Structure 1
Amino acid sequence: MSNPIFAQTENYKTAIENFQENYNSEKYEEIFNAFSTEMKQALPLENTKQFLAGLKAQAGKIESKEFIEYQQGTYATYKTKFEKMVLAVNISLDNENLVNGLFIKPYEEPTETTKNIVNTLNNYSKEISEIIFSQAKDFPNNTQLSIAIIQNGKTNYYGIIKTNDTIKPINNQDKIFEIGSITKVFTSTVLASLVENGKLKLTDEINLYYPFSFKNDINLTFKNLANHTSGLPRLPENLDLSNEANPYKSYGKTQMEEYLKNHLSLEKEASKSYSYSNLGTGLLGYTLGLSQKSSYQDLLQKNVFDKYKMQNSFTSSQHLADKLIKGQNPNGKIVSNWDFDVLFGAGGILSTTEDLAKFANAQFNPKNKELALTRIPTFEVNENMKIGLGWHILKSKNGEDLFWHNGGTGGYSSSMTVNTNEKTAVIILSNLSAFHPKMENIDKLCFELINETEK
């Protein structure tokens, strides 16, 4: 007798077959037409097309699939072999057999036996060693983590590398990693410095710095771009994701102006809700450069890197030689760095934990008024999170404000949190791919370590 929790029913079999056929032939509208009304509202047609086109560029066509189980009695999970990777395609159907849930993530094989990973972090305190080991043991060999913990006026560094299934200490606080979306905090810091110097107002509309009208006469403010309340989509619809190894490299001025003139649309009403947008922060950085007749990268260098003596922070991965830690894909193979053009403000910085520790320590000095401005709440996302300018504001175990951001690119993951009241901070940079199934362990480790400073 078959167990209904583990047996694939005919309606799900039909749904996944149709998904595979339409996905492989790029009939994305057919996939959208199979959505329930609620699903269509949650993921409108253009978003569906963009998501599936991005998936196709990243993973390739579906070659085969295998039904695994029903998750919580609702979602059917399929181990799906794409041309470039294996992903879990999770799908749920309503009473009319319309798709009312679809999410895709890296597939994790059920593990019956765990490899005997060795912890040799004996020169770290027992508590720190065990916390780091527990979160890092499942990462691929050759993964490095560079960690800074600021507490009691001191900055301590903890570097690790996994080699031959062994977690070992390594000095890497001066090594360079992509920091991904932690860049967004720096973009907001450049904005705040210009506001503090009377060059801009948060409520100014960016439209003033473009010699053409935006589509549908949509107006966007600096503040809305900095706190993700602009209503813009996560990515511009004219971003070509076919270069999955370096997706942002070719999106330049021409493409941005084309988007603003002919494709600009809002998914949500401005100022009314939070919707995380790489496009929004990239547009913010680019416009800051235009506003000062400069480039965002030059403003970043002058207003932040130079001011806080961040001498090992860069806007390009070129000419960094062996100071650069190579990024890895989910299987631990070296991948190319990501290059950014006009969307640089969303995720283009490379830095070290030493430099980010300088930036974190600067948050504790009230004289740095532009840093204080970025930490003032500007929007309440939900009861557990607010947002300032760039920073997400959470609560610590002791009920204090934590200013947090993370980052992820094809070859790197990062996380940073700051408690200005206690003058504590944790920074983690790594060459763990954002597409690795355990990448959330980087954030978990960051929060575990900041909680450790409260004891």
Structure 2
Amino acid sequence: MKSIKLTCLLLSVLLLSLSSLKTQAQSHQQQRSDSVFLAIKKYIDQRNTSLIYASGSEAYKKVVNEKNLNVFFEKEIYPLGRIKLSSFDGLDNAISRYKLVFESGKLVFSFALEKENKFNSITFTPFKSIIFNKPVPVATSNILKSVLDRQVDSIARQYIQKSNTVGLSIGILNNGMMQTYGYGEIEKGKGKLPDANTIFEIGSITKTFTAIILAYYANEGKIRLSDPITEYLPDSLSANPELQKIKIINLSNHTSGLPSLPANFEYRGMDRLNPYKSYNEKMLLANLKTCKLRSVPGEVYAYSNQAMGLLGVILERVSGKTYEQLVQHVITGPLKMSSTYQQLPPLLSSRFVKVYDADGDETKPWDFDALAACGCLHSTVNDLLLYAKANIKCESSSLSSAFGLSHQVTFSKGPVVGLGWHLYQVKDDKYYWHNGGTGGCRSFLIFNIEKEIAVAVISNAEVDVDGVARGILKKLRSS
């Protein structure tokens, strides 16, 4: 027995020694890789392909010439900007991987080394994050007192416990009462819960504001839904027969035939993490001069940011006001929605969240120019509930008429659409909804006029919240 125990002990020591040697070898390999990686990272930021090429082995240089390598970096890598963050991502079969977060994208950089610390292969591939559940429950303001509290919590946790989500703000209007819940953080690592007055980007929910402004001015007689859009655009655009077919109503219900984005939306120097910022009216009108429609106006639903952005430009021309002023004048001022803006005033900026992409990495908030009307607004769940409540019942007669017009069905061959709003029918119950998304936020708003219920959900990560809102709505319908 002693002999067996001694043999087992020696075997254990041997295995531990081998494991230690393997760990030491991997550690040494990573140290070598790190030194080469840091040099190449510096060269990428300097846009110095010659020094990157010089870091390659002779075997590599026999396969790839410097001119071709330079073309690759100039076309695929340098346009992403400087490297903001980097981290070791693993070592497999002598190939080292590093995650690179550029100013305008993310890649995995992989390479293998020869003995003299020269790489004999390099590759760049799209980064794909591994999504897992957070090990402990995230913080919440939900006190779990009522049945609804517990239902909301069970639904919210399916979302907020994912590793790539950060914060979640939920608002419910039911039986004339507003209830709000916060989950997670407004900024990673800070431990501060979002609340009902935390400001997020609401993305395409903005389109419903644009539609209601249209309805308001249509009721005022300043614009007609049946007017050709060319009546409100520079004369030079009338020469494009495609535009003559589009009516104002087609811009609002996504039946214009215009592509989702203008053909010249992507251009050299565009910031891919803040894509709408520099797209101005001059560029929009230049594209419209030669644009081709993808379908006959009024016949096919095809979601279009370009169409709604153009509608905003037309409404600015009709009113003489900027889009920001239109929102304040027609909607947020009368409804006392004090936290809903395109450009946040300095006093409100401290309530604006940090925003995160689909991998949970911090990213840029979006700014808008010519296409503001398709997605520029910031708001809170408190303001969105005020907005939904006014859509359900509004004391202002002019605004009530505008809401009513926006709710009327304007297209039903496919998704059912009003002006801006999408309609969702469950038996005899009709729900009006819209969701939204930017590079770092997701939102969803839905309400029912007869039942006087509404659900608003916003998050500060590029991870859809549609399921959260619809899950809560289902619980409200069954209660």
Please report the TM-score for the alignment, with normalisation by the length of structure 1: 0.71
Partner residue, 2:176: 153
* Bigger proportion of residues as helix: 2
CA distance in 2, matches of 1:449, 1:169: 24
Instruction: Kindly report which structure 2 residues correspond to 1:341-352, keeping only aligned pairs within 5 A, or say none.
Output: 341-352=369-380
Please say if 1:117 is aligned against 2:136.
yes
CA distance in 2, matches of 1:432, 1:164: 11
Q: Deviations over 1:14-48 (max 9, x none)?
A: xxxxxxx9xx979x9xxxxxxxxxxxxxxxxxxxx
Partner residue, 1:225: 251
Structure 1 residues 212 and 193: CA distance shift in structure 2, 3 A: same
Partner residue, 2:330: 303
Partner residue, 1:129: 153
Structure 1 residues 106 and 196: CA distance shift in structure 2, 3 A: farther
Of 304, 309, 317, 1:277 maps to 304
CA distance in 1, matches of 2:131, 2:358: 17
Structure 1 residues 395 and 136: CA distance shift in structure 2, 3 A: farther
Q: How many residues align?
A: 358
Partner residue, 2:444: 415
CA distance in 2, matches of 1:259, 1:155: 45
Please report the TM-score for the alignment, with normalisation by the length of structure 2: 0.68
Structure 2: unaligned runs, 5 residues or longer: 1-67, 84-98, 109-125
Structure 1 residues 161 and 292: CA distance shift in structure 2, 3 A: same
1:110 shift after superposition = 8.1
Partner residue, 2:279: 251
RMSD of aligned alpha carbons: 3.2
1:109 shift after superposition = 4.1
1:378 shift after superposition = 0.7
Please say if 1:238 is aligned against 2:270.
no
Please say if 1:321 is aligned against 2:342.
no
Partner residue, 1:388: 418
CA distance in 1, matches of 2:476, 2:130: 35
CA distance in 1, matches of 2:186, 2:176: 33
Do the aligned residues in 1 keep the contact of 2:160 with 2:183 (CA within 8 Å)? no
CA distance in 1, matches of 2:424, 2:215: 21
Percent identity over the alignment? 30
1:140 shift after superposition = 3.0
1:216 shift after superposition = 2.6
Structure 1 residues 426 and 169: CA distance shift in structure 2, 3 A: farther
Partner residue, 2:222: 199
Q: Deviations over 1:418-442 (max 9, x none)?
A: 1112110100111112xxxxx23x0
Letter in 2 for 1:315: Q
Please say if 1:443 is aligned against 2:471.
no
SS of the residue aligned with 1:380?
Answer: coil
Do the aligned residues in 2 keep the contact of 1:381 with 1:387 (CA within 8 Å)? no
Partner residue, 1:182: 205
CA distance in 2, matches of 1:447, 1:163: 23
SS of the residue aligned with 1:199?
Answer: coil
Structure 1 residues 206 and 235: CA distance shift in structure 2, 3 A: same
CA distance in 1, matches of 2:160, 2:264: 37
CA distance in 2, matches of 1:394, 1:145: 24
Letter in 2 for 1:235: L
Farther off after superposition, 226-235 or 168-177: 168-177
Do the aligned residues in 2 keep the contact of 1:159 with 1:169 (CA within 8 Å)? no
Structure 1 residues 115 and 360: CA distance shift in structure 2, 3 A: closer
1:136 shift after superposition = 2.0
Do the aligned residues in 1 keep the contact of 2:139 with 2:193 (CA within 8 Å)? no
Letter in 2 for 1:254: K
Of 327, 343, 355, 2:383 maps to 355
CA distance in 2, matches of 1:164, 1:285: 32
4+ residue runs of structure 1 moved beyond 6 angstroms? Answer: 80-83, 163-166
CA distance in 2, matches of 1:169, 1:132: 17
CA distance in 2, matches of 1:109, 1:129: 24
CA distance in 1, matches of 2:470, 2:211: 23
